[in-house]
């Protein structure tokens, strides 16, 4: 894969969102197992962290790497996609999603978005929600501090500089709040799933007796439009739509 595990740990481990030392120790244990080529054992260690109720982009990324090494491509794609939701601007995660998709059966040509839609999506997904939230708090606190200079300074030049500087920083802080809200709304409105069954007959309606429109295979990502009585109405990247059983896929 593109990034070595040791480099990933060195850069990311200090900021993981694990809530206690035990989870951090388990994560480190999984990394050691991974570097020794014990991918199944490493995956078990990572899964224990999830069972304890903790998650992060780093955790899902490493789980995806372990699954890829085990040749479990649908699981690898699922975990990479989960990592992408938590850190949508991470180029290494995006690269590994594309890399893993090369091993899937279905090669689907996605309908390209309009320029403005692509630009808007890139804008709101440029940073993770946690990063945007942290930035917004920091910027608003800084703006407030500078504004205090405006209130208490007797120097006209300092008062003017403090006032306009605080307004600019506050505006940037509010933009980060707006971006976080838009990103949350985007992922809430874009439900997706990964196909896990070897072969799935996509039907014209939510019933086995109805006709098959097309067939998809494990590892394929689908957009979930509707959930009805154990059936999912899905749309592929090329625009094709149909119904498949909910049990044949796992939601991202």
pLDDT value at residue 214:
96
Contact 81, 252 (CB under 8 A): yes
**Closest by Cα among 128, 55, 51, 122 to 85:** 128
pLDDT value at residue 99:
95
pLDDT one-digit tens code per residue, 132-165? 888 999 999 999 999 988 888 888 888 889 999 9
Please check whether residue 109 lies inside any domain of the structure.
no
pLDDT value at residue 67:
97
Beta strands at 221-228 and 192-195: parallel, antiparallel or unpaired: antiparallel
Please check whether residue 107 lies inside any domain of the structure.
no
CATH number of the domain where residue 247 is located: 2.30.30.40
240 by DSSP, 3-state: which? coil
- Domain boundary, last residue among 75, 101, 127: 101
In whole angstroms, what is the distance from residue 158 CA to residue 161 CA?
5
pLDDT value at residue 238:
92
**What residues make up the domain containing 87?**
5-101
Q: Specify the number of domains making up the chain.
A: 3
**Closest by Cα among 74, 25, 33 to 52:** 25
Burial of 200 (0-12, 13-18, 19+ CB in 10 A): buried
| Pair (95, 10) in one structural domain | yes
53 by DSSP, 3-state: which? coil
222: left (phi over 0), alpha (psi -120 to 50) or beta: beta
Residues of the chain with confidence (pLDDT) below 70: 1-20
């Amino acid at each position: 894969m593109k990034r070595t595990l040791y480099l990933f740990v060195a850069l990311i481990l200090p900021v993981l969102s694990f809530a206690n030392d035990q989870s951090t120790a388990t994560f480190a244990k999984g990394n050691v197992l991974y570097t020794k080529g014990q991918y199944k054992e490493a995956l078990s260690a990572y899964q224990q962290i999830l069972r304890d109720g903790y998650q992060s982009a780093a955790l899902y990324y490493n789980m995806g790497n372990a699954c890829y090494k085990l040749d479990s491509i649908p699981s690898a794609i699922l975990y990479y996609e989960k990592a992408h939701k938590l850190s949508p601007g991470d180029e290494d995660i995006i690269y590994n999603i594309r890399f893993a998709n090369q091993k899937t059966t279905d090669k689907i040509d996605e309908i390209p978005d309009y320029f403005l839609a692509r630009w808007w999506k890139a804008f709101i997904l440029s940073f993770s929600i946690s990063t945007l939230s942290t930035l917004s708090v920091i910027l608003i606190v800084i703006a407030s501090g500078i504004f205090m200079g405006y209130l208490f300074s007797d120097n006209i030049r300092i008062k003017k500089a403090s006032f306009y500087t605080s307004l600019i920083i506050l505006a940037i802080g509010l933009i980060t709040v707006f971006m976080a809200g838009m990103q949350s709304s985007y992922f809430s409105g874009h439900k997706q799933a990964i196909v896990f069954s070897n072969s799935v007959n996509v039907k014209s309606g939510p019933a086995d007796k109805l006709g098959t429109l097309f067939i998809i295979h494990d590892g394929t990502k689908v957009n979930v439009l509707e959930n009805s009585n154990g059936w999912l109405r899905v749309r592929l990247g090329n625009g094709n739509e149909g119904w498949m059983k909910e049990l044949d896929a796992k939601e991202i």
